[in-house]
Amino acid sequence: MSDPKVGVFVCYCGANINGAVDCEAVKEFASKLDGVVYAATYPFMCSDPGQKLIKDAIKEYGLDRVVVAACTPKIHEPTFRNCLAEAGISPYYLEFVNIREQDAFVHMGNVEAATKKAMELVAGGVERAKRLEDVPQKVVEVDKSCLIIGAGIAGIQAALDLGDQGYKVYLVDKEESIGGRMAQLAKTFPTDDCAM
């Protein structure tokens, strides 16, 4: 197998990242890393034009690994995984580097320190990206049934709710009868209705 071709995409995140990190210097640094064949910056990499930049670079440069240096992956990792899939490569060939919360926000006011840290994070991301492997996906049939242990009031209600959703329910209790603590009560508050 040939060596991976890595693309690095550094997001300004408006002024959130670019206000603390010299993103152009990070891009230049990344472009010289072993395995990197393309590096770019963009004001909002998660935007449609930013994603188009990534897709076009994948096709033009034959990229098979992508490092996105941007904000939190919690919000945008699915966005970029879909972007890779739409460009024809595995969504698992994405390495996401958080240079906003883990760098720019931490080093606000110290561009030199923030830029140095961003370079280190990107370098680590590139090394990890080169080692990423595809994760094959397959659809597996699942038996639509469940086991509920404990036939107290909560177990009974769970069994009824799941049964209403079409699940085959197995309700098991250690006692001979269902109802749990409720079965031990003669009346319930506030109506004094029979507990069972």
Mean pLDDT of all residues in the chain?
Answer: 92
In the sheet that holds 94-98, the strands lie side by side as 36-42, 6-11, 65-70, 94-98
Mean pLDDT of 134-156: 91
Phi, psi of 187 (to 5 degrees): -140, 155
Q: What is d(CA 73, CA 88) in angstroms, rounded to the nearest whole number? A: 21
Residue with tokens 């508050």: 189
Q: Decide which of 61 and 184 is more confident.
A: 61
Model pLDDT for residues 55-109, shown as the tens digit of each residue? 999 999 999 999 999 998 998 999 999 999 999 999 999 999 999 999 999 999 9
In this predicted structure, the answer to whether residue 114 has a pLDDT above a threshold of 60 is yes
Per-residue pLDDT at 195 exceeds 80: no
Which run of H or of E encompasses 145? strand 145-149
Domain map (residue ranges) of the chain: 6-129, 145-194
The distance in angstroms from the start CA to the end CA of the chain is 68
Q: How far apart are CA 20 and CA 18, in angstroms?
A: 5
Q: What is the pLDDT, as a whole number, of residue 189?
A: 63
The angle subtended at Cα 164 by Cα 163 and Cα 169, nearest 5°, is 5
Structure tokens at 158: 């769970």
- As a whole number of angstroms, the distance between CA 128 and CA 94 comes to 10
CA distance 144 to 165: 10
6-129 architecture in CATH?
A: 3-Layer(aba) Sandwich (3.40)
- What residue has token string 């210097």? 25
Tokens of 152: 């107290």
| Angle ∠(68,72,78) on CA atoms, nearest 5 | 70
Mean pLDDT, residues 148-174: 94
